[in-house]
Amino acid sequence: MRRREFVCGIGLSAVWPLVAGAQQPIEPQCRLGVLMPLAESDVEAHKRMAALRDGLHELRWIEGRNLQTDYRWYASTADKLGELAKELVSAKPDVIVTSATEQVAALQRVTRTLPIVIAQAIDPVGSGLADNFARPGGNVTGFSQYEASIGPKWLEVLNLIAPGIKRVAIIYDPANPTSAGILHALAGVSPSTEQILTRLAVRNGEEIQAKISGFADEPNRGLIVVPAPVASSNRELIIRLAAKYKLPAVYGVRHYAESGGLVSYGADNLDLWHRAASYVDRICKGEAPASLPIQLATKFEMIINLRTANALGLNLPQALLATADEVIE
């Protein structure tokens, strides 16, 4: 009897691992494409990727285990952007993450079916990338930095920092679909401030150099730099020119102030890249971007570079310094 029980025990123990193994769920796999609107060597690009990876890791997507990522880096001409978009779509990822309206538009010219998650973009609905915020309706969803109405806020900040400014140059990329809305919003408040707004369309570093230099021929002038890949890629040039010509400047993204720009006001972009991981997760598990609502930024920040303010001879109001999220000294 004992021998019989022993043999039966061996049989059950031999079968149990097979049964248990058969019940193990198959781990989902995801192939991710990333179209980054910055050079691969750019520190800001790596901060954004780190934020996205952290978010994915929290959701148990691990590079090399159940996640494979294809990268394309863009800090060049529009023609190059089109090529990179085609390359990335040809790799057949399950979902692509990108930022900036220009990048999304380039991808949509290649595919209207492959899911695209916007990590940060200005007014994606007003730009025609999606039908509406609640139900985007197509292959694009994600996160919006802000709407065009933020333009007057940048002008307000500039006037608080340098109230004597009489003429303000708006640096923008005419190829960026969001520029028109911001320019229109700024034009609406210009009469009440009695300031002259000058539009400076730029497409590359050479145009940035020439147009800012040409604008800065008289005193009491300032800059507003509308976020766009061409501006981000040339931010050190813009900051150097602003310093050279003593131009107070407001930027829409934090990394300008970190690089020596006077002040930035806008959404916390790294928070948006982190949050984008949640939509990658949901799409890789089978949800459609058409039914995932576009979410607005929830964290905004003002960063003031006090070293730059001192170099420009600006005496910033203590009330403004007190409301800043960070003061770089």
Class level of CATH domain 30-145+268-298: alpha beta
pLDDT at 8: 45
Judge whether residue 247 has pLDDT over 60.
Answer: yes
Which residues, other chains included, contact 315 with Cβ-Cβ below 8 Å and sequence gap of 6+? none
If pLDDT is split at 50, 70 and 90, which confidence band does 75 have? confident
What are the distances in angstroms from CA 254 to CA 28, 257, 263, 271?
36, 6, 8, 12
pLDDT in tens, 130-149: 999 999 999 999 999 888 88
Which residues, other chains included, contact 73 with Cβ-Cβ below 8 Å and sequence gap of 6+? 36, 38, 39, 40, 45, 84
pTM of the model: 0.85
pLDDT in tens, 220-243: 999 999 998 899 999 999 999 999
Convert the chain into a string of H (helix), E (strand) and C (coil): CHHHHHHHHHHHHHHHHHHHHHHCCCCCCEEEEEEECCCCCCHHHHHHHHHHHHHHHHCCCCECCCEEEEEEECCCCHHHHHHHHHHHHHCCCCEEEEECHHHHHHHHCCCCCCCEEEEECECCCCCCCCCCCCCCCCCEEEEECECCCHHHHHHHHHHHHCCCCCEEEEEECCCCCCHHHHHHHHHHHHHHHCCEEEEEECCCHHHHHHHHHHHCCCCCEEEEECCCHHHHHCHHHHHHHHHHCCCCEEECCHHHHHCCCCEEEEECHHHHHHHHHHHHHHHHCCCCHHHCCCEECCCEEEEEEHHHHHHCCCCCCHHHHHHCCEEEC
Judge whether residue 308 has pLDDT over 80.
Answer: yes
pLDDT at 162: 92
Judge whether residue 190 has pLDDT over 70.
Answer: no
Query: Can you read off the two tokens belonging to residue 260?
Result: 């020596």
If pLDDT is split at 50, 70 and 90, which confidence band does 78 have? low
Query: Can you read off the two tokens belonging to residue 69?
Result: 């990522």
More reliable by pLDDT, 180 or 245: 245
* 312 C-beta neighbours (distance < 10 Å), count: 18
pLDDT at 255: 94
Distance CA 275, CA 139 (A): 18
Distance CA 165, CA 272 (A): 33
Distance CA 280, CA 207 (A): 37
pLDDT in tens, 6-36: 444 444 444 444 444 555 567 789 999 999 9
Residue listed under structure tokens 């034009």: 187
pLDDT in tens, 30-70: 999 999 988 899 999 999 999 999 999 999 999 999 999 99
Distance CA 69, CA 102 (A): 21
Judge whether residue 310 has pLDDT over 70.
Answer: yes
Which residues, other chains included, contact 215 with Cβ-Cβ below 8 Å and sequence gap of 6+? 169, 198, 200, 221
Distance CA 160, CA 296 (A): 26
More reliable by pLDDT, 171 or 17: 171
Looking at the chain, the whole-number percentage of residues with pLDDT higher than 90 is: 74
Judge whether residue 153 has pLDDT over 50.
Answer: yes
Q: State the helix-helix crossing angle for 78-90 and 101-108, rounded to 10 degrees.
A: 60
Distance CA 244, CA 263 (A): 16
Distance CA 165, CA 156 (A): 12
Distance CA 248, CA 22 (A): 66
pLDDT at 218: 85
Distance CA 93, CA 71 (A): 11
pLDDT in tens, 175-188: 888 888 899 999 88
Q: Mean pLDDT score of the chain, rounded to an integer? A: 89
Enumerate the domain spans of the chain. 30-145+268-298, 150-267+301-328
Q: Which fold has domain 150-267+301-328?
A: Rossmann fold (3.40.50)
